[in-house]
Chains A and B, each alone.
Chain A
Amino acid sequence: MWTFAMRRLAWAVPTIAIILMLTFLLTRMTPGDPVLYELLRSEDIDQPLEISSDRYAQMSRQLGLDKPYFYFSILPSNVPSSVVTDQSVFRSMFQFWAERCTNRTAAQTLIADFHDVRNTQSSTDGMNMVIAHWQAQDYSSTQHIELTDKERNLTTRVREVALHNRALLSYLPSVRWWGAENQFHTWLAKAIRLDFGKSRDSNESAALRLWYALRWTLVVNVLSIGIAYLLAIPLGMYRAHTRGSRFDRWSGLILNLLYALPVFWLGSMLVVFFSTSEYGSWTNIFPSVGIWVSYPGDSFMQMMARNSGQLLIPVITLSTSLMAYISQQMRASAMEELHKTYVLHLRAKGLSENQVLWKHVFRNASFPLITMLAGVLPATLGGALVMEVICNIPGMGRLMFDSVLNQDWNLVMLVVLAGSLITVLGILLSDLAYAWVDPRINLKER
């Protein structure tokens, strides 16, 4: 069993590494320039064009964004390497031009000339206007702007290139190796030392923000899973016991319907109809969503005690749909046990029906419930995400949602890491639990 666990854990490492790499690359491909964001935030500059190249390069070094993204890059072969290492606001523009140049040298000269015009001549207003057009990928309406000869020359060349179709050479990829000096490696090296960087806007560390959020998610999940099991086990057992009865049939139908109820719909309905007195005086059952009472210096427990009403809707919603699923499973596995001969033997022995059900049948029928417990955890995590957004609970789902919208990539990476760790551990635990409950399972064969 231990060798099995170790082997699975060893396999989890490349799995999580792949997920992290994927997320990292996805986050870097997002539109939006983090260096520019930081510059516009920290200084009183309104226009990207007012930023000098030196200031930009300095800031990107400071943020560690001056390096390539990954250990290697696969770029069209007519795109010069300088596009990857170039430190200016115009990088995406350069790539667009380079893919249309017939070769690498032509692209390089074009980019060098661009820098030349912009830096040494300290661009005229006309040139700034042209560049603003280019950034919007508009290359045809720049002809009538007044420019110096050198600028005019450059503009003509750029227009020729940009209005061209993609050069054939760009369909030929070329692999460029960057070595360990890249952004992913830097992140990974820090992450191994458990340093996950800072969150973008608040200056708190990402790990701390994750921990604050994780507490809420755990509370919601543990409560709803616990309640779901507490309700589902007796219900499932009773239905198996009275199978075929009217109660069994009707509750079966209702549970099926409850199971198909989208979590976010049930949540929204509760919020809309039962959190105000809009629809009659009795409908104001739950407290208004998103109104948190807190005093400075509150500990987590105090905070939770003050706002426990806020957890009602998410817990009720999540445990309803979970309960429907679990009790169906419980009924199915109890039915299977009830058909076995040992039950007949127990009854013949004169045991009361309660003893037969709870002492013997339940014990055997609970195997799938135990495995489900670990499988349910990642699933509820997804449901909790939606509920957190609906009910404004500062949990992990809310954190992920907000951090993606804020492009707070340090936080996103950490949340994805935590999410996949929980999923992998959940699957592993469910396998181990299965072997622990049922010794006939041979893990070595798996």
Chain B
Amino acid sequence: MIHLVKILLGFYVLLGVLAPFIANDRPLWVAYQDGSTSWPLFQKEVSSEKKLHRVVRAPIPFSADQITSLKNRYLPPFSRVQLDDRSVRHWLGTDRLGRDLAAIMVHGCRKSLYIAVLAMGLALIIGTFLGGLAGYLGNSSRLPWYVIVVLLSLLTYSGYLVFALQSYWLALTAFSLAMAIAVTAGIRGNQTGWQIWLDAFVMRAIEVFNSVPLLLLLIAASSIMIRPSLTGLGILIGVMSWTRFARFSRAEVIRIKEQEYVTAAQISGENSRAILSSYILPEAAPALMVVFIFGISSAILLESTLSFLGIGLPIDEMTWGSVLSQARGNIRAWWLALFPGLGIFFLITCLNFLADHVQDRLRRG
């Protein structure tokens, strides 16, 4: 069973990574009659003057956003159409505007995986950072007042850069700088300065984020994104779902901190950073992976729900969810309901099975 799951997941990942090679309206490789060859896939322009000799095309000779002809709207699976001078099949049919469903499926897989991995990567970084630090330092760490002032102003400034100036890279730089200062200063463990109620603060923040009606807020937030994009949606989902990692890594760090080998390391004079990075984090990592896999599956679900509702992504960005929503408009087009749904369903099921499997392995030791 688990082998089947792994093979399927590998298939999905391959599909996502190789999407442009699998479904593309441009030929992969062309040999002209004068003997020269080219890879149109990687070029902006394809010279049309030269006579073609041999052409290697992608298995699905359509792009996800390619509208061949409005005559080809809502074609059922296996229909044969004339494209230029070739006869090609729409293996999975076409959608409302005559786009090829198979191509949309392949590229939709790529988009879903991209958003989910981006979102959960972000959530993993923020959540593990905050949760781990809160668990390790508790409420007793102290920082000199000027460090606190610098930290707070850097954080506020990065918010300013995002909301007032929309310069995201600068904001990211300021944010990372703040995090670096926080880690360096926090782990060193000062004895003087202001007491930081880090644990209490993080717990409160988790509570606040958990009582946000997520879907409602995402609808409100994504409707105002100035330029909706895949990356924007990924970041939004990531920022909203860091709490699952924070809660988990906090609990893990607190558990591991009490282990004897950590105490031994503390007594033998290892500094806190070494303890955190080489004693505590590796121990917590496998368990975090389980949360990560579950997180990926729920991010995919969330993304497809949002795009099903037509929220958060540009209208011309075709994903599994958005093509599925077209089935509501034309009840006869059963293929629009069936195939994208199957794609989402199998991906989520496989991820859940994998996570369960890893969890079982961990529990058994």
Contact = CB atoms under 8 A, between A and B. Distances in A.
A210 interface: no
A123 interface: no
B331 A420 contact: no
A10 interface: no
A265 interface: yes
Interface stretch (B50-58, B61-69, B217-225): B217-225
A136 interface: no
Contact of B223 (A173, A265, A390, A404): A404
B308 A264 contact: yes
Interface in B216-262: 216-217, 219-221, 223-224, 226
B219 A23 contact: no
Given A416-B216, A416-B217, A423-B211, A261 B331 contact: no
A184 B151 CA distance: 28
A189 interface: no
A402 B250 CA distance: 39
A424 B213 CA distance: 9
Contacts, number: 134
B210 A27 contact: no
B272 to A, nearest CB: 27
B344 interface: yes
B309 A260 contact: no
A268 B349 contact: no
Contacts of B305: 262-264, 386
Contact of B212 (A19, A171, A260): A19
Contacts of B348: 260, 262
Interface string A379-418: 0011001100110000000001100110000001001100
Contacts of A257: 349
A256 B216 contact: no
Nearest to A418: B213
B214 interface: yes
A30 to B, nearest CB: 4
A265 B328 contact: no
Nearest to A272: B337
A31 B228 CA distance: 12
Interface centre among B163, B216, B324, B338 (most CB of A within 10 A): B216
A171 B165 contact: yes
A65 B207 CA distance: 33
Interface residues of B, number: 47
Contact of B328 (A15, A75, A390): A390
Interface centre among B325, B331, B334, B348 (most CB of A within 10 A): B331
B301 interface: yes
Given A27-B220, A268-B341, A279-B334, A378 B213 contact: yes
B264 interface: no
Interface in B110-142: none
A74 B220 CA distance: 22
Contact of B344 (A31, A75, A265, A273): A265
A11 interface: yes
Nearest to B301: A262
B254 to A, nearest CB: 15
Contacts of B331: 271-272, 275-276, 278
A26 interface: yes
B104 to A, nearest CB: 16
B157 A173 contact: yes
Contact of B345 (A19, A171, A265, A405): A265
Given A260-B345, A416-B220, A278 B332 contact: yes
Interface centre among B161, B204, B337, B344 (most CB of A within 10 A): B337
B345 A15 contact: no
B160 interface: yes
Interface in A264-292: 264-265, 268-269, 271-273, 275-276, 278-279, 289
Contacts of B211: 12, 15-16, 19, 420, 423-424, 427
Given A256-B349, A279-B334, A386-B305, A173 B213 contact: no
A166 interface: yes
A408 to B, nearest CB: 12
Contact of A401 (B165, B217, B219, B334): B219
Contacts of A76: 164-165
A268 B212 contact: no
Contacts of A264: 304-305, 308, 321, 324
Nearest to A31: B226
A171 B325 CA distance: 43
Contact of B334 (A23, A31, A272, A419): A272
Given A268-B327, A400-B216, A401-B309, 11 more contacts: A31-B224, A74-B156, A74-B160, A170-B165, A261-B345, A262-B348, A265-B345, A273-B337, A378-B213, A386-B305, A423-B210
* Top-7 shortest CB links A-B: A419-B213, A265-B341, A260-B349, A30-B224, A382-B215, A272-B337, A260-B348
18 contacts: A12-B211, A15-B207, A15-B208, A30-B224, A256-B352, A256-B353, A259-B352, A260-B345, A262-B344, A264-B305, A265-B344, A268-B325, A268-B341, A404-B219, A415-B216, A420-B212, A427-B210, A427-B211
